[in-house]
Chain A
Amino acid sequence: MTTTVLEPAIHGDRVSLLRVLGPAHVWALGVGIVLVGEFTGWNFSADKGGALAALIVCWIVGLLYTSVAMIDSEVTSTVAAAGGQYAQAKHIVGPLMAFNVALFLVFAYTMLEVSDAILLGDTIVAKAGVEGLTHNSFIAATIVVLAWLNYRGVLMTLNVNFVITAIAYISIVILFFSVSPWTQGAVLKLNELVTPGNALPYGWIGVIAAFQFGIWYYLGIEGTTQAAEEVRSPARSLPYGTMAGMITLLIAAAMTWYVCASLMPWEYLGITYYPLWDAGKLTGSPLLENLLFIATLLAALASANGCINDAARAWFSLGRDRYLPSWFSAVHPKYRTPYRSILFLLPIALAFAFIADLNQAITFSILSGVLQYTFMSINIMMFRKKWPLGTIRRGYTHPFHPLPAIVLFCLCVVTFFAIFLGFGSQLIAMTIFYFLISLWFHFYRYKFVRRGDQFTMPWPKPQGY
């Protein structure tokens, strides 16, 4: 059923997104978005709490995201629609929640895209070291070229993502093995750099504060669900690609921490924008230095690419249900992409890439991400209650319910507290924004929405209604 749809649609036909992706593309979408976190961002958690705190949050936040991946795989292998968590919220919690979740998604991904573009621009400027060179042209090129790629079709977009993500990932592995990780003292000097005296410079409060940027090790893995309408077999590919992605990332995070913490003092690690590139430099090998430079650029590209893909799909779904003007729900008849959403988000991303700095863009992204994870933990509880196991067909059923949901919820609370320690007023400002726009939606915009049509899954009536 996927072989015939490649020809352009004719008048009178229906145009929908194209089902062409396999599990490898899901992996590339998920890991592609996230892997940049190893090249920048995670290390700010060392700034917040020291090198050991960065490792502790790497594991604990890894647990948070394993819960996210498990929960997400179950719900999304059942609610397979573009928009991912948005469609989940719409079927399980209700329209207003769905509207908010879609905004979380669009914000998290667009700001992540902005961060990637800034990182890429800054990396090139740092490498060039030329007087008067600014990052603006590189930012513009990144955002526009990737938007163009996304405009031209999802298959090519994610094929590219697969290749560049794989190269970036392999470069971390190469770095890891070329510093002889099995012997300390030759290149790596972990026990001299992380001493009992400086491992936790702020004590345990620093560890909690570090949660904020610990999120950055994995932020975006849940984006795999956005591809639900474009994978050939969502019930199989989505859980498989997401879980494989999570395992890949846990390995990468551990290797990255080990190499970086063994090569630079935590005070420097916490402020650099290029921890892995710096690690490459500090090994003294020009080959590794250049490899990690290129890998940083590729990781940023892969991430921005996936983010454009995901943000556009979330925005597209909002239009399709008339939560926003239905104009956005247009699908390109030839390339089968949500082209108007891609074009609409492009100038917004560009504008923020020019006015915000990296730290702030990352924080915006993290805030929206954590709001979304809080929703997910409650969502899965409601999902199991409204449709208990056995009442509908699930592509994947996650084990130990409700433990992952409870773990996820508790870790979200801790992360909110961590954000409070650094960016409390910003969190309040953002929540007020979401609150106001929710009022706007609930009391005004919702009147344009067709009620029953929003529920598109062929499920029985939920229990308790």
Chain B
Amino acid sequence: MWISLSYACWGISVVLALWMLYDWFKVDTTYSEDVLTSSREGELEAVSEKHRI
């Protein structure tokens, strides 16, 4: 039982790893680099937090 569990673990790892690679490839080819890397630090603070004391 434990040996088959071990094979199942390899199986799951391979499938999920391949899925992530596939998704990564899909995302990188669908969206432009500018969109993907458009996150900026501190956006929330600039928009919603008013620094009044």
Contacts and interface: CB of A to CB of B under 8 A. Distances in A.
Interface of A: 1, 9, 11-17, 19, 80-83, 87, 124, 128, 130, 132-134, 137-138, 140-141, 143-145, 147-148, 151, 229, 317, 319-321, 326-327, 329-334, 339-340, 343, 346, 390-393, 456-459
A151 B10 contact: no
Given A80-B44, A333-B35, A141 B12 contact: yes
A346 B16 CA distance: 12
A16 B39 contact: yes
B51 A393 contact: yes
Contact of B2 (A130, A319, A329, A393): A130
B36 A15 contact: yes
B9 A141 contact: yes
B27 A144 contact: no
Contacts of B6: 133-134, 137-138
Interface in B12-53: 12-13, 16-17, 19-21, 23-24, 27, 31-33, 35-46, 48-49, 51-53
B51 A320 contact: no
B37 to A, nearest CB: 5
5 nearest A-B residue pairs (beta carbon): A456-B42, A141-B9, A128-B2, A330-B36, A137-B9
B19 to A, nearest CB: 7
Interface of B: 2-3, 6-7, 9-10, 12-13, 16-17, 19-21, 23-24, 27, 31-33, 35-46, 48-49, 51-53
B35 A144 contact: no
Contacts of A80: 44-45
A453 to B, nearest CB: 9
Mostly helix, strand, loop or mixed at chain B's interface? Answer: helix
Given A16-B39, A130-B3, A456-B42, A145 B12 contact: yes
Nearest to A148: B16
A266 to B, nearest CB: 32
Given A138-B9, A145-B16, A456-B40, A332 B2 contact: no
Contacts of A332: 27
A261 B13 CA distance: 38
A333 B27 CA distance: 8
Given A148-B20, A333-B27, A320 B2 contact: no
Contacts of A14: 35, 38-40
A140 B10 contact: yes
